[in-house]
Amino acid sequence: MSDDPLNYLNPTWFVNSDAPEILALAAEIAPRGGDEVERACRLFYAVRDGVRYTAYNLELEREAIRASSVLAKGASWCVPKSVLLAALCRAAGIPCRLGYADVRNHMATKKLLDFLGTDVFYFHGFNEIYLRGKWVKATVAFNRTLCDKARLAPLDFDGLHDSIYHPFDLAGHRYMEYLRVYGPYAELPYDDLIATFAREYPKVTAARGEALSGDFEAEIAAEAGQN
């Protein structure tokens, strides 16, 4: 895919930026005519904190990962949250594309790690937003309340500098390691994601999101030693 920003303005099936609810929210949060950086930052925080992160009950069906579905549900994981941010940006006239990375995640519940069978999170989703003539990375996965309970510094976004995971948490412990970065994409590479999950997370694809339940945020807090 070319780096031409115009290639990342149009709606796609997953990034359905032409959905009425997406258009309405983008117009409410980031009405056209203002500074593009300020508008992009508003959209970032709306998705980061307005859609709660959970790594449980992963829904892998196509419809569940579509931007309008993520908005309606109000809670999801990194890939759908990044799809929603892309849709809102495009609806606001701001080019936005999808990126993915394999990361070694040191911030997860024991239940989740046992279920996955690994601490490598494949296809971690993030965004790249075209602002003031350059692509800037944005990571909307973890909402502020989750970060507070996990004793992590939340990822902020100023529209000028890349917002990517910190290598260490606030206590100096290992947090996130990037192993592989791939992309960019105008559309979610759904078939590649499902094939990767089937190979690396056989329990996840077999269960179709039904095997793990619970309050991910509360369990993170408990394992971090907080009430």
Task: Delimit the domains of the chain by residue range.
Answer: 5-221
Given CA atoms 15, 18, 23, 29 in this order, what sign does their dihedral have?
positive
- Residues 73-115 have pLDDT tens digits of 999 999 999 999 999 999 999 999 999 999 987 567 788 888 8
Given CA atoms 20, 3, 139, 99 in this order, what sign does their dihedral have?
positive
The C-alpha angle with vertex 195 and arms to 191 and 197, in degrees rounded to 5, equals 120
Quick one: pLDDT band at residue 227, thresholds 50, 70, 90?
very low
- Residues 171-225 have pLDDT tens digits of 555 567 888 999 899 999 999 999 999 999 888 777 665 567 777 778 877 877 6
> Model's pTM, two decimal places?
0.92
Return the percentage of the chain with pLDDT > 70, whole number: 90
CATH hierarchy code of domain 5-221: 3.10.620
**Is 119's pLDDT higher than 70?**
yes
- Position 6 scores a pLDDT of 92
**Is 166's pLDDT higher than 70?**
no
